Amino acid sequence: MAFLDKLGETISTKGKDVAKRAKELAEVASLNAKINTQEEIIRKAYIEIGQKYYEKNKLDTTNEFGSEFEIISESMDEITKIKKEIQIIKNYKVCSKCGAEAPAEALYCSVCGAQYQIVEGNAKESDETNDNIYEEESIHSETKDKID
């Protein structure tokens, strides 16, 4: 009987140790999750600082980040070019006032009411045509032109 009592006591003690260890691990995991959250907040703040610094200083290629600024600007230009190519392929345009997408044949933006003006020329003919896909003109400026 003493053997079974000792065995029961050992099992109970080990069970309590396991439960205590599991609780510690859960607490550590929770604290690590909090650390990760704070690190993500810091990472986002760094990114925002970098973006603001870039926007403020992007024309100053003489500073220590001039080459990085140039890389960012070139990449942004390439993204714009690629987006316009997608517009041609998908046969849609994007409102310059509000950013809403519209079918290429639309005359007005269905979101903000800006009037689209079709610029003459085949958009697939040359690199310059990326600027000739579609331009929008606000109803206000068209009215002003008619008055003048």
Backbone dihedral angles phi then psi of residue 123, each to the nearest 5 degrees: -65, -15
Lowest-pLDDT range of 41-45, 77-81, 128-132:
128-132
Q: What is the pLDDT of residue 66?
A: 87
Mean pLDDT of 113-135: 51
Mean pLDDT of 44-64: 91
Domain boundaries, the chain: 66-147
Q: What is the pLDDT of residue 142?
A: 42
Q: Is the pLDDT of residue 136 over 50?
A: no
In the numeric block, the tokens 């069970």 are attached to: 15
Q: What is the pLDDT of residue 119?
A: 56
Nearest alpha carbon to residue 115 among 133, 96, 129: 96
**CA 106 – CA 93 distance, rounded (Å):** 9
Q: What is the pLDDT of residue 128?
A: 39
- With a pLDDT cut of 70, the percent of the chain lying above it is 78
